[in-house]
Amino acid sequence: MKVKISSLHFKTDQKLDSFIENKVGKLSQFFDQITGSEIILKLDKDSNKENKIAEIRIDVAGADIYAKKQSKSFEEATDLAVDAIKKQLIRHKEKLKA
């Protein structure tokens, strides 16, 4: 699976990139027809503590699956978004079986 990480108005470090690639890479366990993924990281200027946003878009056969989560760290926001994507992938897979 191809993983594209974009960050708006800042540069990510290698540790964060590898963390995100690892988390998103594990999604292929739940649905094997994932063709690619795009992760967008950005900072929300309006919020004080929970100002880190992670948006994940997964390309699968027949659909795009999307989740956007906000938290106090990019790692936590990514975890929350990956959990939401995981649920959507399972639901999509069950829909295709029916």
pLDDT, tens digit, 9 for 90 and up, residues 35-83: 999 999 999 887 677 889 999 999 998 789 999 999 999 999 999 999 9
Looking at residue 72, its pLDDT comes to: 93
| Structural domains present in the chain | 2-97 (3.30.160.100)
Checking if the pLDDT of 97 tops 90, the result is no
CB half-sphere exposure, 10, CA atoms < 13 A: 11
Question: Token pair for residue 68?
Answer: 């956007």
Looking at residue 61, its pLDDT comes to: 80
Q: Give the phi and the psi of residue 28 in degrees, each rounded to 5.
A: -65, -15
Q: Give the phi and the psi of residue 11 in degrees, each rounded to 5.
A: -110, 130
DSSP state string for 33-85: TEEEEEEEEEE-SS-SSS-EEEEEEEEETTEEEEEEEEESSHHHHHHHHHHHH
The reported pTM is 0.89
